[in-house]
Amino acid sequence: MKKIIKYVFTDILRNKIVLGYTAFLLVMSLSVFNLEDNTSKGLLSLLNVVLIIVPLVSVIFSTIYIYNSAEFVELLVSQPLRRKHIWTSLYTGLAGSLSLAFLIGAGVPILLYAPAGTGAVMTGMGLLLTIIFVSIALLAAVITRDKAKGIGMAIFLWLYFALLFDGLVLFILFQFQDYPLEKFMLVATAFNPIDLSRIMILLKMDISALMGFTGAVFRDFFGSGTGFIIAIGILVTWAAVLFWLSLRRFNRKDL
């Protein structure tokens, strides 16, 4: 299993696209911090990168990688190896290398330039989002054999989490605006890792004062130590459950 992880890891790290992704993140974050005169504005610009671009790149790259290594997987399956180990190694390799790319590209500048608390939360959320969206990619890739369909599904899932879910929330908010919806909102965020990480990051920034009553409700819950742990727990659960679903599917799949 270690050998497969090592192989996948080095294979991806040599990949020009991942190198390009790392370089892009690095240039982006360094220029953002150097151009803006105060770091909190720089962090706000990077917020969009972490919430939109990191999931997108993770999900598309991973899906394509899984499809491209279909023959390699077939070869491995023919060897005396357990399927569980093969799939887990693939996942570990992908998530690990993309996380490393994010850590070098965005994590290091953020931790260098931004205040410690906010920077740490932002880096942590970026890493968790990378892992979650690799899980989503694995699920999408294992569901269908058709490459176009699989990539389409992955992109659609990204679109759903990045955009459509929020649209849906907004729709519900207006349909039920006569009711107190703060508790509902709190629960709703758990169903979208991107929203949850956005709120976790915003709560760490002083801009959260603009969030008014709803912000206060969120701060009460997520701002506390237990709330923070719960949020991390939810995000890890997202990654774990999606991976587990894809693993179950892979175990029974006729390759």
- Scanning 59-67, 89-97, 195-203, 238-246 for contacts with another protein by CB under 8 A, the matching segment is 195-203
For residues 122 and 228, the answer to whether their CB atoms sit within 8 Å is no
Residue 189 interacting with another protein (CB under 8 A) = yes
- Least CB distance from residue 172 to another protein, whole Å? 10
In the list 173, 230, 232, 245, the residue contacting another protein (rule: CB under 8 A) is 173
Residue 206 interacting with another protein (CB under 8 A) = yes
Residue 174 interacting with another protein (CB under 8 A) = yes
Helices and strands (H and E) in the chain: how many: 14, 0
User: Dihedral angle at the C-alpha atoms of 162, 165, 170, 171, nearest 10 degrees?
Assistant: 140
- Scanning 113-121, 135-143, 165-173, 240-248 for contacts with another protein by CB under 8 A, the matching segment is 165-173
Binding string, residues 17-56; x marks residues near another protein by CB under 8 A: ------------------------x--x--xx--xx----
Q: How far apart are CA 155 and CA 65, in angstroms?
A: 14
| Measured distance between the N- and C-terminal CA atoms of the chain, rounded to whole angstroms | 20
In the list 49, 64, 216, 232, the residue contacting another protein (rule: CB under 8 A) is 216
For residues 119 and 111, the answer to whether their CB atoms sit within 8 Å is yes
Single-letter code of the amino acid located at 55: P
For residues 55 and 162, the answer to whether their CB atoms sit within 8 Å is yes
The residue among 148 and 187 lying less far from another protein, judged by its C-beta, is: 187
Binding string, residues 95-134; x marks residues near another protein by CB under 8 A: ----------------------------------------
Q: How far apart are CA 119 and CA 116, in angstroms?
A: 5
In the list 74, 146, 182, 220, the residue contacting another protein (rule: CB under 8 A) is 182
For residues 93 and 4, the answer to whether their CB atoms sit within 8 Å is yes
> Greatest CA separation found in the chain?
61
- Scanning 80-88, 129-137, 172-180, 239-247 for contacts with another protein by CB under 8 A, the matching segment is 172-180
Structure tokens at 43: 């962090």
Q: How far apart are CA 18 and CA 203, in angstroms?
A: 31
Binding site for another protein (CB under 8 A): 41, 44, 47-48, 51-52, 162-163, 166-167, 169-170, 173-174, 177, 181-182, 184-185, 188-189, 195, 198-199, 202, 206-207, 209-216, 218
